Copies of this chain bind each other. A is one copy, B any other.
């Protein structure tokens, strides 16, 4: 037998049932008032949420940011009214908050939003993302344990449903968790055999137990009963592997449509609400909660957690070196990149990026990352650091595998834990990660994406490997800064800007550009766009480019000069940093942009863009550039054509 709760004598089963039904009733009331929401999961998964928070989640309700708190990710985020109910029982939200479910500017939005509601550890909603976040949070806890003398050792719980296990990102992330033996990850699988559209069997015929065993998980099955769930979580905590707890539930339990997809996504009608509440023994007016339920729940949680936080505080006080832990507490993920000693002659930009990354890593323990199996191409290996894994949780090189989407979702989780993660792949494969990159931006997480092989200059591997629309497409994501430096000066400046800020960023680098310019300036890069090559003439055109094309633009400018045409050349290496005034100036002047990617990237600045309207071709870099007209002569001709039109 396993120890249940603080002590078996304290368990009051009837009170637990009453509490669970209270969460169910509150959720129905919230969804009814909002006239929008998902009653099915709220009725079905209430025992899981209640038991987890009452008996297991280590939190500090007086300090919700408590750095070693257990994390809970509501990956099936549409069930969030249950969590708002827990917030209410703990005095963290009011009844008015609950009544404002899904209303504008409330503390109770339709899906969990980190920073908006108490006890929300990640914004979730797009299915599968939360599972990857949870893997990242648990990975971070294993790493931080090694760096904080075992002070950080929280559990990460994640609730997911049937549909989420169909998502590829979930599979990718959990397979990595099993490989790395992230033993403090506990997946609570709300198994009700129904998805929005139909019964699960129409779209999935999986042996879930076997599937999890095949990816190295500890598999536990339990009933939809607080004692069974409690016992299962206790068992999971003793495992050396990550655990999944398969809880057999009934979607919309007690509703007339219980067990059917009809109860998934629409509020119950009034009659059905009464019917459910009758079965749940809830006879009061809507939003009325019995005082004993609140008292029992809150006191139990506070008492259970007090010992844990006290113990943490004692250990913290005794720590000699508090540098790292204080950074975590203060949520400081910035780094001031100043001194470094790198010989930058005759090296490709991605090689130089690797050298800078290594320099930074040696002084900045929050920096940890890896690649989706392209570290040797993206040059993101930390040469003095170990591989992160079961034998070395202090390793800082993560082999994510060829799992781009999960890599990004896991990095989001690592960033939520206070780390500064980086991940790398080829730019064209950023397409696989967009679901998670968007979440980096929405949660404003300091994730660093390093994308190399950034244009048709990839050459031989052909159109599937040659990005066209990816640069413009990443630039579209709100709150995501995209840097595309030309040479070492601009690369350093990009790293400085990225590391001193805490927002998500993409560093976009070519396969093999080794150019260095006397014109580029490290100090100007923070302005996003700056003048690289000036002219004395008052009659001039502007040429704009970034990355590898800047070299071409400079050559074209010289070629135009020979034809008697003066031009200024601007480097536009970070569009989101550009001052509106400068944008306006450029818009009002005769400006031509040159890009190896989609022309749309520059349309905000000018409608005169020389860019790619088709996919690329397989061939050597030189062949491909010639084929698409990216020679000095061809571009000069195109510029003349635009000027004369």
Contact residues of A with B, CB < 8 Å?
34, 36-37, 77-78, 102-106, 109-111, 113, 123-128, 163-164, 166-172, 175-176, 178-179, 195-198, 201-208, 210-211, 213-216, 371, 373-377, 387, 389, 399-406, 428-429, 431-432, 434-435, 438-439, 441-442, 459-465, 468-469, 472-473, 475-479, 587, 598-600, 603-604, 607, 612-615, 617-620, 623-624, 627
Contact = CB atoms under 8 A, between A and B. Distances in A.
A462 B195 CA distance: 21
A197 B374 contact: yes
Contact of A478 (B125, B163, B164, B469): B469
Contact of A464 (B37, B111, B196): B111
Report the 9 A-B pairs with minimum CB-CB distance, sorted nearest first: A168-B168, A104-B619, A125-B464, A203-B401, A109-B618, A603-B603, A210-B214, A469-B476, A211-B214
Contacts of A479: 614-615
A171 B178 CA distance: 16
A462 B211 contact: no
Given A113-B618, A125-B462, A432-B435, 14 more contacts: A34-B460, A105-B617, A113-B463, A175-B206, A179-B205, A196-B373, A196-B374, A197-B373, A203-B399, A203-B403, A206-B215, A210-B210, A210-B214, A475-B600
Contact of A476 (B179, B204, B473): B473
Nearest to A201: B179
A401 B196 contact: no
Contact of A624 (B104, B124, B428, B462): B104
Contacts of A401: 163, 166, 195, 203-204
14 contacts: A102-B620, A113-B463, A125-B465, A168-B170, A168-B172, A176-B204, A197-B373, A214-B214, A438-B469, A469-B476, A472-B600, A473-B473, A475-B600, A476-B598
B172 A113 contact: no
A110 B202 contact: no
Contacts of A203: 176, 179, 373, 399-403
A60 to B, nearest CB: 27
Nearest to A113: B462
Given A168-B403, A202-B389, A435-B431, A375 B476 contact: no
Contacts of A613: 478
A402 B166 contact: yes
B460 A126 contact: no
Best-buried of A373, A472, A612 by chain B (most CB within 10 Å): A373
Contacts of A438: 431, 469
A402 B169 CA distance: 11
B178 A402 contact: no
Contacts of A604: 599-600, 603, 607
B387 A202 contact: yes
A163 B623 CA distance: 30
Nearest to A38: B461
B126 A464 contact: yes
Given A126-B428, A168-B406, A619-B103, A206 B216 contact: yes
Nearest to A405: B168
A179 to B, nearest CB: 4
Contact of A126 (B167, B429, B603): B429
A630 to B, nearest CB: 13
A519 to B, nearest CB: 28
Given A399-B203, A607-B587, A614 B478 contact: yes
A206 B214 contact: yes
Given A110-B462, A172-B166, A207 B211 contact: no
B214 A207 contact: yes
B205 A178 contact: yes
A110 B442 CA distance: 37
A523 to B, nearest CB: 28
A163 B373 contact: yes
Nearest to A108: B618
Contact of A463 (B170, B442, B598, B612): B442
B406 A104 contact: no
